Amino acid sequence: MVDNDKANNTYTDIVSDGGMDPRNKKDALDALAELGQEMEKARKHFELMNDAWWNGLDQEEREDAFYAVVKRIHKAELQDRGSYRYALYDVFGFDPGMYGRGMECGYMALHNAIYDGEDLQAMKGVNRFEVIDEEGRTYVNHLNDDQGIKFSLQDDNRTLKVFIDSTSWRSDE
């Protein structure tokens, strides 16, 4: 268990000294490591309890929970195109304490993926492609009515290829 008095005293020593001497640094790092271990234990315990709660629901309760959550995600992400905080606080009605738990369960990653995916979908309807660097517009292509754009990541996601033609982009429709 983390000794809060020791951790607070270590912090007070650091602040009052205007820096950290080697003995206090070791104590602080040890306290942080112990705190990290305790937090991980608490997270795993919460995961077990949450899974037990979910598994204890009957079919109709799981369906209702799923519907309620997905309906709110749809509103926050696709209808309102809101921020992560907007979704948590305004749509779900949580207080700021949920911010970290939303990250732990993967909602922030989901939010970012949805937001990026919506932008990518919107890009499929463009009729002009431009490349702009520090010199200004270095490439401009006004697409014909039968042309479209397809993006492809290659080389372990280090290369972006853009195909502008009348056939390859149609495979995504």
Q: Is the same domain home to 3 and 43?
A: yes
Q: Is the same domain home to 14 and 41?
A: yes
Q: Is the same domain home to 158 and 140?
A: yes
Domain count, the chain: 3
pLDDT of residue 124: 76
Q: Is the same domain home to 2 and 20?
A: yes
Q: Is the same domain home to 48 and 64?
A: no
Give tens-digit pLDDT for 75-132. 999 999 999 999 999 999 999 999 999 999 999 999 988 888 777 777 778 889 999 9
The answer to whether the beta carbons of residues 89 and 95 sit under 8 Å apart is: yes
Q: What is the Cα Rg of the chain in Å?
A: 25
Whole domain around residue 34: which residue ranges?
1-56
Q: How many Å apart are CA 14 and CA 30, to the nearest integer? A: 15
Strand partners for 129: 141
The answer to whether the beta carbons of residues 123 and 130 sit under 8 Å apart is: no
pTM higher than the cut 0.85: no
Backbone angles phi, psi at 152, to 5 degrees: -145, 130
Last residue of a domain, one of 56, 82, 97: 56
Q: Is the same domain home to 113 and 95?
A: yes
Convert 2-67 into a string of H (helix), E (strand) and C (coil): CCHHHHHHHHHHHHHHCCCCHHHHHHHHHHHHHHHHHHHHHHHHHHHHHHHHHHHCCHHHHHHHHH
Last residue of a domain, one of 123, 140, 161: 123
Q: Is the same domain home to 51 and 71?
A: no
Q: Look up tokens 């629901």; give the residue.
A: 57
Q: Is the same domain home to 65 and 116?
A: yes
Q: Is the same domain home to 32 and 75?
A: no
Q: For 143, how many CA atoms within 13 A lie in the half-sphere containing its CB?
A: 19
Residues in the chain: 173
Last residue of a domain, one of 40, 56, 72: 56
Q: Is the same domain home to 130 and 119?
A: no
Q: Is the same domain home to 39 and 63?
A: no
- Phi-psi group of 92: left, alpha or beta (phi > 0 → left; psi -120 to 50 → alpha; rest → beta): alpha
Q: Retrieve residue 94's tokens.
A: 């949580």
Give tens-digit pLDDT for 156-173. 999 998 888 887 666 655
